[in-house]
Amino acid sequence: MLLLHLARKSLTNRLLTTSLTALSIAFSVALLVGVENVRTGMRESFSNTVSGTDLVVGSRGGTIQLMLYAVFGMGSPVANISHDTWKEWDEHPAVSWTIPYALGDSHRGFRVIGTNDSFYEHYKYRGGQPIAFAEGRAAQSVFDVVLGAQVAERLGYVLGDRISVTHGMSAVGFMNHDEMPFEVVGVLEKTFTPVDRAIYVTLEGVTAIHMGWESGGPPMPGDEISAADVLAMEEVPVSQITSFFLGAESRAYTLQLQRDISTSEDEPLTAVIPGVALSEMWRGIGYAEDGLLVISGFVVLVGLLGMLVSIYTSLDARRREMAILRALGAGPRRIVSLLVLEAGTLSIIGALLGVAFVYVGLAALQPWLEGQFGLQVPIQALDGMQLMYIGTVIALGFVAGLVPALKAYRTALHDGLSVRI
């Protein structure tokens, strides 16, 4: 009790230095804990790019490649899936729903994805949030276009704008399908996933873009098909898609379905469980966050060194105080305890303050982080890892106090009751 009293009085007596020291520790701790929070948030956000989907299916190939083109809109598939094969799986008794994707075209650098109503109904991201419309409606007819939030923002399109779609992925494609007048009928809400960076049309729309291109090149003069021709068709045939998302009737069927699809004799296919593939991918690219963690570890060390220095430099001024305490009967061990207690108290205050900074900061920045980066940093109780960090900082604080305390111990023994300065 006496030591606590002395430590408190001594710390408050040097309020400016002690609060600066506590602040520097607080910032270190806030950084350390905050980085860990952001890390968790990034991992969660990434692994939840797509959710609710049990399998992602594409032509046979690498699982990462499949995830990249089907989920992240990067790279392209090696081969397509026939419409019939997709339909077969779509009607499979263990399958609840599928979302077909027909990829391959772009509009001013953004991917065009042919899909159907199932996309608007079943596609989920971030813990099961569904696709929602900022304005307009889903694409229904051949020339309807729905824009991802970022596409609408970047290109400045509004409902009713007419756009053309490029065959192939080049932004300045020289083979523009100018003859196909697509119309914007809907804009999606921001999702902070690759969904925002794509343009959605119907499967029939994608087929229409390619009519007359069956030979691989532009239609011969005279063979062009006009928009009016397409609209006049009773039904636009869809022969191929690129990949599809699949929701099983029950989670329990997922593994069996994955095996059946991957070993199907009809067509060589690959099926991936997205959650598994995403965490695998994160392990590959998440190392940058480890670097961040190492840096914030060093920041903590610097904060503690600052405390060490400030206690150490105050020691000479306190030699007289040590001598008085000794004369009044305090043993050297008590004097060591006093200094260690002061350092420990500083680091505890610093750590608590740091945690407070994190929560206040998160509360203040959470909407901005989500709005700007799609980063959902959860405000939650400290996890075991963070508690361990904080415990380590506090323990290091006590240890840092030990260094000047031992010097004070030797000085106190040497000075005895008089101080030779």
Partner 1 sequence: MVTDTPLCIDARDLSFAYAKGPPVLDIPELTIRSGERVFLYGPSGSGKTTLLGLIAGVLNPPPGTLSVLGHDIGALSSAARDSFRASHIGYVFQMFNLIPYLNVRDNIALPVRINSERKKRLTGRLDEEVASAASHLGIEQLLDEKVTRLSVGQQQRVAAARAILGSPELIIADEPTSSLDANRRHAFLDLLFANVADAGSTLLFVSHDLGLADQFDRSLSLPELNRAGE
Alpha helices in 96-163, H assignment, sequence order: 117-122, 149-155
Q: Are 213 and 167 in contact (CB under 8 A)?
A: yes
The minimum distance between CB 2 and partner 1, in angstroms, equals 5
Could you tell me which of 131, 242, 141 has the C-alpha nearest to residue 195? Answer: 131
By beta-carbon proximity to partner 1, the closer residue of 162 and 320 is 320
By beta-carbon proximity to partner 1, the closer residue of 215 and 418 is 418
By beta-carbon proximity to partner 1, the closer residue of 5 and 251 is 5
DSSP class of 157: -
Beta bridge partner(s), residue 6 = none
> Measured between alpha carbons, how far is residue 95 from residues 63, 76, 257, 298, 361 in Å?
21, 26, 8, 51, 45
User: Residues in the site for partner 1, rule: CB under 8 A?
Assistant: 2, 5-6, 9-10, 12-14, 320-321, 324-334, 416-418
By beta-carbon proximity to partner 1, the closer residue of 352 and 419 is 419
Placement of tokens 């950084």 in the chain: 31
The minimum distance between CB 335 and partner 1, in angstroms, equals 10
3-state secondary structure of 258: helix
The minimum distance between CB 394 and partner 1, in angstroms, equals 24
Beta strands in 148-302 (DSSP E): 162-163, 166-167, 182-188, 198-202, 240-241, 243-248, 269-272
Q: Are 293 and 38 in contact (CB under 8 A)?
A: no
The minimum distance between CB 363 and partner 1, in angstroms, equals 37
By beta-carbon proximity to partner 1, the closer residue of 220 and 417 is 417
By beta-carbon proximity to partner 1, the closer residue of 229 and 316 is 316
Could you tell me which of 235, 124, 57, 40 has the C-alpha nearest to residue 66? Answer: 57
The minimum distance between CB 36 and partner 1, in angstroms, equals 37
CA–CA gap between residue 246 and residue 34 (Å, rounded): 36
The minimum distance between CB 7 and partner 1, in angstroms, equals 10
The minimum distance between CB 329 and partner 1, in angstroms, equals 2
By beta-carbon proximity to partner 1, the closer residue of 371 and 416 is 416
